[in-house]
Structure 1
């Protein structure tokens, strides 16, 4: 129960600091893991129980003190279809005493064979608790680099495809990016490595990776949140955003953030819009100076910049238009219903309309008078010239005309789609939850091509680089 509450209630709520929620997960995991292990293997003898509890403790200690082992274990899990990210952090060893508590509660008592249904129920409940702490990640979105599109296999292989045709150009090893799209600029792919390191690799010559930056703490959990022409923006473990010079690898500035509630960053020219929790801040990307801050009553999603306004929507269904220079509120729209999922941009803008989702329905709102010009079921997930992509169910996308709200086309997939589409010229690149990449024609919604990695992709790319022929 603690594991479920921690991951679904406490994390990101602001009730408990993020440093404590991480440790709560470790403590709860030390109690749940040996119980699940004993149930799965039907271990009922005292010697067997002691071995199971000791194995959990030894593995937990090794993964948190040996980064190379954690990386290898991550790769092995991915190979058997369990994409995951394990970070070595010696401070997590404070959770080891929880093993003794678990043994005292569940492992020290003599066990007789229970009714057949009890272990199944116990295992199911424990598995649900484990999943609460260790969610199965959806696939990461694709990334376009010039006329090529990159997609990432959950086992740590990047495929480079020709964008117009879907022909495979090459594949090479890379680190897993935690459902974030690959960070790439000027055809250099930036990756988070063990021990708080960031490396770069040129996608045309992936045999020679180079180190870009290293966090002072080797066990630091860092994530690349964005990249532009000059800087990498990296979220650190101590609630800070780091701006790293992309060329020289030097630290340019840091910014305090709420890491758990940090949304997608919005970059335009030399301005960075940061939303975390109820805050929306405009930051000078060159110096890290906060130009203005707007505090909303509730949590806001990622921002969208259009013309002279920054648009944000809060979780309780309020849409704001802020002056991009001063942060002053220019207008406000009350949706009268809760906003849709706001992790990825929930607000889009084009011409004289703002598109936002309230209670599962997208509305086109006039910038001039805030009137609603049309409504359509579904949540906006991407925008192209004159076309808004809406997702009305897990496996269905619609192309909707931005001027009238008329559905131009509807495309259904065999699997759910959770990664946001990426627009490139007349194509939308969409990945389903099986990892297959589709290229949709934006004019008709037809699937121009699709690509799923070969069955032997992880083994054939075991070297640093591999040129693969077109399937």
Structure 2
């Protein structure tokens, strides 16, 4: 009976996708990973990406606001219990854990056998051997000694440099091999840089609480800046087809010309926003931008028409998770994990975890492709 149910669900997903927009068949062995935010028992879940049924779980002793990622057959995840963990993708067996200490909001980035992650309250960027779980180097990026040590943003690795923002208002570029500080940019009035950055054509795009910046990736020189007019732009910008899209305090979507910073257009989203230390970052696929909002809706926005295509009301009470798209399905954390058809916003399945989710999901396909919220919205 269970096999019949799974077959019926897979058939429904395929029919819905093909009826509206041709796409790949569902990957029956794909997995989705996400962590939850219970203060006494944060849990990492590995779920069947097509049905939402759990494959395995791992319990920590604190929140898991950090989003997991996968490299090879290992999933990497961090917790406010102070540890960075590595698990076997298939079984959930712990390979190793590394004690950073304090809370960890930053999400890991993995490349060339190294895990890059920031400590939440020590002001350091860490490079950890991905196989052994041992420290290769750590570097302070907070700036002056009297500045805040908090880091909420996640590292971005491009070529030989790792970029990381901090609550002290610094964006730092660090040599990926040695940990040496290459350059540091200070936001206007040292307003916090809590969002992640994105890059294209030798330019780094980042945002502080009030301003979007474009910097030379090699030197940190300011190319342009755009004042959003709001005091809480703490969502990562997203690049698509030469345009930079910014979620401004969940009130409006702003489109900027990426090379010049010129305002192209704005789209109002809601009239009032909930206070949030982080906000959902947009993702774009096939000309449609998807973003969650503190008004508890998931939006699909047609960029060519500059209008909302559809929106889905969730049952969440707080929504800051960023959507992730894989095989035509959007995965979004909130009061539960949602799997939503990207073409029309219909819910394919939901799974009730032990607590809500600030983190974003990470999807691993059978072919080894990894989808998560990252550079230009979705990283493969």
TM-score under structure 1 length normalisation? 0.56
Following superposition, the deviation at residue 442 of structure 1 comes to: 1.6
- Greater Rg by CA: 1
Q: Which of 45, 56, 64 does residue 159 from structure 1 map onto? A: 45
Structure with greater strand percent: 2
**Aligned to 2:150, what secondary structure does the other structure show?**
helix
1:15-49 residue CA offsets vs partner (Å, 9 max, x unmatched) = xxxxxxxxxxxxxxxxxxxxxxxxxxxxxxxxxxx
The residue number in structure 2 matching 1:412 is 313
Q: Which position in structure 1 is the counterpart of 2:96?
A: 211
Distance 1:212 1:159, change over 3 A: closer
Distance 1:370 1:172, change over 3 A: closer
| Structure with the higher fraction of residues in helix conformation | 1
* Alignment equivalent of 1:295, drawn from 186, 204, 207: 186
CA distance in 1, matches of 2:246, 2:219: 23
Alignment of structure 1 residues 218-297 onto 2, 5 Å: 220-221=101-102, 223=104, 225-229=107-111, 230-232=113-115, 233-235=117-119, 238-258=122-142, 259-276=149-166, 277-297=168-188
1:310 equivalent to 2:204? Answer yes
| Among candidates 397, 403, 413, match of residue 298 of structure 2 | 397
Select the structure with the greater relative contact order (CA < 8 A; seq sep ≥ 6). 2
- SS in structure 2 opposite 1:260? coil
Structure 2 alignment gaps of length 5 or more: 1-28, 143-148, 270-278, 356-380
Question: 1:228 is paired with a residue of what secondary structure?
Answer: strand
Q: Is the aligned partner of 1:439 residue 2:322?
A: no
Q: Distance in 2 between matches of 1:326 and 1:267?
A: 15
Change (3 A) 1:270 1:448: farther
The count of aligned residue pairs is: 300
Q: Which residue of 2 aligns with 1:40?
A: none
2:66 is matched with: 180
- Say whether the 8 Å CA contact 1:382–1:422 is kept in structure 2: no
Q: Distance between the aligned counterparts of 1:412 and 1:398, measured in 2? A: 9
For the pair 1:422 / 2:313, whether they are aligned, the reply is: no
**1:354 matches 2:354:** no
TM-score (norm 2): 0.69
Distance in 1 of aligned mates of 2:45 and 2:320: 20
Instruction: Give the C-alpha shift of residue 287 in structure 1.
Output: 1.5
Which ranges in structure 1 are unaligned for 5 or more consecutive residues? Answer: 1-145, 456-471
> How far apart, CA to CA, are the structure 2 residues paired with 1:372 and 1:268?
27
Shift in alpha-carbon separation, 1:197–1:340, aligned structure 2, 3 A: closer
Aligned to 2:288: 387
- Residues in 2 aligned to 1:453 and 1:242: alpha-carbon distance in whole angstroms: 30
Instruction: Indicate conservation of the 8 Å contact 1:365/1:371, yes or no.
Output: yes
Cα–Cα, structure 1 residues 234 and 292, in superposed 2: closer, same or farther, change >3 Å? closer
CA distance in 1 between partners of 2:81 and 2:127 (Å): 18
Question: Following TM superposition, by how much is the alpha carbon of 1:439 offset from its aligned partner in structure 2, in angstroms?
Answer: 0.8
* 2:3 aligned residue: none
Taking the aligned partners of 1:301 and 1:198, their CA distance within structure 2 comes to 20
Aligned to 1:326: 219
